[in-house]
Amino acid sequence: MEKYTIPLIPPSLNKYAGRENTWAYRGAKAEWRGIVCAYCRPRRKPPAFAHVMITFYFPSRRRHDADNYCKFLLDGLVSAGVIADDDFDHIRLSIAAGYDKDNPRTEVLIDAVQCTE
Protein backbone atom coordinates (compact mmCIF):
# COMPACT_ATOMS: atom_id res chain seq x y z
CA MET A 1 0.00 0.00 0.00
CA GLU A 2 1.27 3.45 -0.88
CA LYS A 3 0.37 6.61 1.03
CA TYR A 4 0.67 10.16 -0.29
CA THR A 5 -0.05 13.42 1.50
CA ILE A 6 -0.72 16.66 -0.35
CA PRO A 7 -0.76 19.69 1.97
CA LEU A 8 -3.64 21.23 0.01
CA ILE A 9 -7.23 20.44 -0.91
CA PRO A 10 -8.25 20.52 -4.58
CA PRO A 11 -10.84 23.11 -5.58
CA SER A 12 -14.47 22.07 -5.85
CA LEU A 13 -15.74 21.66 -9.40
CA ASN A 14 -18.68 23.89 -8.41
CA LYS A 15 -16.24 26.79 -8.67
CA TYR A 16 -15.90 26.13 -12.41
CA ALA A 17 -19.52 25.43 -13.35
CA GLY A 18 -20.64 27.26 -16.48
CA ARG A 19 -19.21 27.91 -19.89
CA GLU A 20 -17.61 31.24 -18.92
CA ASN A 21 -15.20 29.41 -16.60
CA THR A 22 -13.66 27.09 -19.21
CA TRP A 23 -10.24 28.74 -19.17
CA ALA A 24 -10.15 28.92 -15.39
CA TYR A 25 -11.06 25.22 -15.26
CA ARG A 26 -8.28 24.29 -17.68
CA GLY A 27 -5.78 26.37 -15.72
CA ALA A 28 -6.78 24.79 -12.40
CA LYS A 29 -6.63 21.31 -13.91
CA ALA A 30 -3.09 21.91 -15.20
CA GLU A 31 -2.04 23.44 -11.87
CA TRP A 32 -3.35 20.44 -9.94
CA ARG A 33 -1.71 18.02 -12.34
CA GLY A 34 1.60 19.66 -11.42
CA ILE A 35 0.83 19.67 -7.69
CA VAL A 36 -0.10 15.98 -7.66
CA CYS A 37 2.94 15.04 -9.75
CA ALA A 38 5.18 16.90 -7.28
CA TYR A 39 3.76 15.26 -4.13
CA CYS A 40 2.87 11.82 -5.48
CA ARG A 41 5.91 10.15 -6.95
CA PRO A 42 5.18 6.53 -7.83
CA ARG A 43 7.40 3.98 -6.15
CA ARG A 44 6.64 1.28 -8.71
CA LYS A 45 4.68 0.63 -11.89
CA PRO A 46 1.00 1.54 -11.42
CA PRO A 47 -1.19 -1.46 -10.61
CA ALA A 48 -3.67 -2.69 -13.21
CA PHE A 49 -6.43 -2.31 -10.62
CA ALA A 50 -6.28 -0.39 -7.35
CA HIS A 51 -8.42 0.65 -4.43
CA VAL A 52 -7.94 4.42 -4.16
CA MET A 53 -8.86 5.83 -0.75
CA ILE A 54 -8.98 9.62 -0.52
CA THR A 55 -9.42 11.55 2.71
CA PHE A 56 -9.83 15.32 2.59
CA TYR A 57 -9.08 17.18 5.83
CA PHE A 58 -10.92 20.49 5.51
CA PRO A 59 -10.07 23.61 7.54
CA SER A 60 -13.74 24.22 8.35
CA ARG A 61 -16.80 22.13 9.12
CA ARG A 62 -18.96 23.66 6.39
CA ARG A 63 -20.74 21.34 3.96
CA HIS A 64 -18.63 19.84 1.12
CA ASP A 65 -19.81 17.66 -1.79
CA ALA A 66 -17.57 14.59 -1.81
CA ASP A 67 -17.48 14.02 -5.55
CA ASN A 68 -16.64 17.63 -6.47
CA TYR A 69 -13.13 17.42 -5.04
CA CYS A 70 -11.90 14.23 -6.76
CA LYS A 71 -11.63 15.11 -10.47
CA PHE A 72 -8.39 17.13 -10.47
CA LEU A 73 -6.81 14.78 -7.94
CA LEU A 74 -7.58 11.59 -9.89
CA ASP A 75 -6.44 13.13 -13.18
CA GLY A 76 -3.20 14.13 -11.46
CA LEU A 77 -2.66 10.62 -10.10
CA VAL A 78 -2.96 9.25 -13.64
CA SER A 79 -0.53 11.89 -14.98
CA ALA A 80 1.92 11.12 -12.17
CA GLY A 81 1.84 7.41 -13.00
CA VAL A 82 0.47 6.42 -9.58
CA ILE A 83 -2.64 4.75 -11.05
CA ALA A 84 -3.09 3.33 -14.55
CA ASP A 85 -6.37 5.16 -15.22
CA ASP A 86 -9.23 6.66 -13.23
CA ASP A 87 -12.10 4.73 -14.80
CA PHE A 88 -14.04 1.93 -13.11
CA ASP A 89 -12.06 -0.71 -14.99
CA HIS A 90 -8.93 0.38 -13.09
CA ILE A 91 -9.98 1.73 -9.69
CA ARG A 92 -12.39 1.29 -6.84
CA LEU A 93 -12.82 4.65 -5.12
CA SER A 94 -13.47 5.45 -1.46
CA ILE A 95 -13.86 9.05 -0.29
CA ALA A 96 -13.87 10.34 3.27
CA ALA A 97 -13.58 13.71 4.94
CA GLY A 98 -12.28 15.02 8.21
CA TYR A 99 -11.68 18.34 9.89
CA ASP A 100 -8.26 19.73 10.71
CA LYS A 101 -8.21 23.50 11.10
CA ASP A 102 -4.44 23.63 11.62
CA ASN A 103 -3.38 21.17 8.92
CA PRO A 104 -5.80 20.97 5.96
CA ARG A 105 -4.61 18.34 3.51
CA THR A 106 -5.48 15.51 1.17
CA GLU A 107 -4.33 11.99 1.96
CA VAL A 108 -4.34 9.28 -0.70
CA LEU A 109 -3.89 5.55 -0.11
CA ILE A 110 -3.33 3.28 -3.11
CA ASP A 111 -3.81 -0.44 -2.55
CA ALA A 112 -3.15 -2.79 -5.47
CA VAL A 113 -6.00 -5.26 -5.86
CA GLN A 114 -6.08 -8.51 -7.78
CA CYS A 115 -8.82 -8.50 -10.42
CA THR A 116 -11.12 -11.50 -10.09
CA GLU A 117 -12.84 -11.26 -13.47
Residue pair 28/71 in contact (Cβ under 8 Å)? The answer is no
Could you tell me the residue range of the domain that residue 76 belongs to? Answer: 2-112
pTM (whole model) above 0.95: no
- The CATH number given to whatever domain includes residue 101 is 3.30.1330.70
Residue 104 is predicted with a pLDDT of: 97
- Print pLDDT tens along the chain (117 aa): 999 999 999 998 887 776 677 888 889 999 999 999 999 998 889 999 999 999 999 999 998 888 889 999 999 999 999 999 999 999 999 999 999 999 999 999 999 988 655
User: Rounded to whole angstroms, how far apart are CA atoms 55 and 53?
Assistant: 7
Is residue 7 domain-resident? yes
